Structure formats: C-alpha cells, structure tokens
Amino acid sequence: MTRDSAEVVLSSISKSYAGKKVLDNLDLSMKPGELLALLGPSGCGKTTTLRVLAGMETPDAGSVHIGGADMTHAPVRGRGIGIVFQSYSLFPHMSAAQNVAYGLRLAGASKSRRGARAAELLEMVGLAEHAQKHPGQLSGGQQQRVALARALAIEPRVLLLDEPLSALDAQVRVHLREEIKRIQLQSGTTTLLVTHDQEEALTIGDRVGVMLGGQIEQLGTPEQLYCTPRTAFISEFVGAVNRISATATTGGVQVLGKLLKISNPQTAPASATGLEALVRPEDLVLRADAAGAGIVESAVLRGAHSSIMLDYQGRTLRVDLPTHEAAAFAPACRVSVSVRTGAVLIDSAKTAAPAAAPAPLHHPALGRIA
C-alpha cells in the first residue's frame, strides 16, 4: 500500500475555553509516516491538540500545516484525515463493510471498487468474515478495528487515534495496540495517537510527547523518555520511581553512598539540601547483607519480574528484579541497596509525602499484570 504521508506542523497553537487556557503556545511537528503518541494526564490538552489538528476546534492563535499547506481554517472534510474515536463511532444502521465503504461512497467511487476496497481493508484488520455484521453484533475490539479500517479507507494523509483503546478490556487492548502498530507501519500513514496510558504510548509510539498544562513537557523516543526524563513529573508519569534522599556535592550528588551525575542539570533545584533522587525500581541492586540498612517487607510477583518492597531508613523502596532472583530475599531479611546507573534525576524533596508511602508505582511494562 502506498500513500502520500504528510508532514504535520502545529505552530504556536493557543486555545482557551471560557477563559481557561487549554493549549498554551504549543508547537508540535510530525515527520511523514511516523507514529507520534501524545501522553498526559486528563485535562492536559492532548485531546484538544488532536481536535485542532482534525479541524473540530479552531485555535485562538497559531497555525496548522498538513503536507505543507495551511489548514488552520479548513473544514474537517478537506484535511485528508482519518479519525478513530474513543467511543464506538460506527454508523449503527450499516454493516461493517458499508461502514468501511462509506467514505468511498461519498467520494463517488463505483460500487465494485468500494466493495473490493472494503473487503481488502477488513481483511487487513482481520475481520473479513464479519463484513456483513452490524456494529451491534460486533465486540468492542472488533468495532474499533472496523473504525480503523473505515478511517484508512479514504487513504488519509494523517491518521488520528483519539484514545481508541481506552474503552476495551486489558487483554484486547494489548492485542489491538500491536495490531494498530502493524497496520500503521504497513500503511505508512503519519499517525497521532492520543492516550493517557503510558504503556500504550511507550510500546507503539515512534516518538512520544508528554503533555502538561497545555504544553509539551518532553518529546522524544520512548527510550529517551523512560531512561532520561527531563523532569520529575515525566519520570513519575511514564513509569515507577523511588524517591531517595540525596545530597549535592561537588561534581554530582551522593545517593545511597555513591557519587552520581545529575541527569537534569537544567531543571534540578539549586539547593544543596532537601533533595531527592528519582531512581527506577530496576536500577536498584539488592545484596543480602546482615549489616545492611534495608529490611525486606514483602515480594510482589508480577510475572517475569518481581518487586521487592523494602523498608529503608523509614522509606519504602521498590526494587524490581527477575522473579527467579527474587526468591533469595525473604521478608525480614536484611539487605544493602545500591544504584546501578551512573546518573540520576534530581528533584526537591516532596515534603507532603510521608515516609511510609511508596512512590507512585505504575510501571509501564508490568503495571497491567499486577
């Protein structure tokens, strides 16, 4: 399948609703053929960004360019976009095949061409045998596949996915997001995926943008976001982290008795005290040590990995390690803890967080299984 994938550029987009700024001077550009995932908590403006790009909202300021042409004020139907919505949006009175063929019917394609194209697309999403069923007879996952086929039928230059999986069961969601990635690669369409699920964004995005307060906090590959987050917010949003008290010294910061570099020199607080290092659970190393400062409290099996929860100087730390190694650390066993990496992200200490509360523990790869 060949399709002219368009480059998309949003520049200095601002949008307010009733005096509340939803998008604040936002810049975003997408390379032809890439899948860009916009990730963020609810209310961060990610859906508004998609709606501005789709033409369902007009920005107060800024411009939208698709394939080099200014589309800021173009109507939805003139933009060459396909959209898959969060809620089931299939036309209830049409069969799956008719839904897929709808856009071609509007474009005046012949009946035989429409039928052939609909069959081809339903085949691609694995629903060839359900072509004659109506949306009411299809499961949620099947409906979203049909919606994807329908959006691709008109050969859009840009594909917009507005939380397409959030209404589905966990298992279907995991399966379908891989399907989406495969189909997107196959069709080569520039794609914007909006999601609040960090796992979804990191697993299928070529690049991921994390949004907060109407702006993009950081835009990069999933590896960049997960391994070198620019701010504490991103670090905590895209995965689980432990907050460990740290002391600034010359040439870096002292964490768990080890001198480490600061990975975020621009955003790190300048003070020398009241600092915390953000370390991912898999970046901590445990060693059985009768004189160690940590006491194992419990072990949580998460599949291939297990999380050891331990009490370390009044704080709860989470350490992730392969399940077969976790057996060595029974509850009440004393351990010493060290950091595996050479650089850490530094943030000022959260005074509100009580010592006993663990850091937010949503690990991207394991959170669902747990």
Partner 1 sequence: MALLERTAAPAVQAPAKAAERASAGDILRTVIIAAALLMFFLPLVATAIFGFSLPGQGFTLDPLREALAGTTIGAQLLNTLNLAMLSTAGSLVLLVPTLLFLHLKAPGLLRFTEWLSVVPYVVPGIALVAGANLFFRAVAPGFMVSLYSLVPFYMVLTLPLVYRSLDAGIRALDLRTLWAASESLGAKPWQSIVHVVLPNLRGALLGASLLSCAMVLGEYAIAALLLHSTFPVFMVQVGMNEPRAAAALSFLTILATWLLLAVLARSGSGKTTAKGGSR
Footprint on this chain of partner 1 (rule: CB under 8 A): 54, 56, 75-77, 81-83, 85, 87-95, 98, 102-103, 105-107, 132, 134, 147, 150-151, 153-154
CB of 97 to partner 1, least distance (A): 8
The Cα–Cα gap between 209 and 221 comes to 9
Closer CB to partner 1, 151 or 345, in the complex: 151
CB of 199 to partner 1, least distance (A): 25
Provide the phi-psi class of 155: left if phi over 0, else alpha when psi is between -120 and 50, else beta. left
Residue pair 329/299 in contact (Cβ under 8 Å)? The answer is yes
CB of 208 to partner 1, least distance (A): 24
Strand order in the sheet with 158-162: 81-84, 158-162, 190-195, 35-39, 207-212, 215-220
Place of tokens 């012949």: 110
The Cα–Cα gap between 280 and 303 comes to 18
Tokens of 37: 């995932």
Q: Map 153-184 to HEC letters.
A: HCCCCEEEEECCCCCCCHHHHHHHHHHHHHHH
Closer CB to partner 1, 101 or 208, in the complex: 101
Closer CB to partner 1, 87 or 338, in the complex: 87
The Cα–Cα gap between 341 and 260 comes to 8
Closer CB to partner 1, 194 or 319, in the complex: 194
Give just the sign of the alpha carbon dihedral 145, 92, 82, 88.
negative
CB of 234 to partner 1, least distance (A): 31
Tokens of 64: 């939208």
| Other C-beta atoms lying within 10 Å of the C-beta of residue 348 | 14
What is the SS3 assignment for 336? strand
Closer CB to partner 1, 69 or 107, in the complex: 107
Closer CB to partner 1, 132 or 273, in the complex: 132
The Cα–Cα gap between 276 and 124 comes to 49
For the chain, report the end-to-end CA distance as a whole number of angstroms.
39
Closer CB to partner 1, 75 or 251, in the complex: 75
Give the max Cα distance, the chain: 79
CB within 8 A of 18, min separation 6: which ones?
A: none
Amino acid symbol at 136:
G
CB of 104 to partner 1, least distance (A): 9
CB of 132 to partner 1, least distance (A): 7
Closer CB to partner 1, 83 or 211, in the complex: 83
Amino acid symbol at 222:
P
CB of 89 to partner 1, least distance (A): 4
Closer CB to partner 1, 106 or 295, in the complex: 106
CB of 16 to partner 1, least distance (A): 17
Closer CB to partner 1, 6 or 83, in the complex: 83
CB of 93 to partner 1, least distance (A): 4
CB of 17 to partner 1, least distance (A): 12
The Cα–Cα gap between 103 and 294 comes to 62
The Cα–Cα gap between 320 and 86 comes to 33
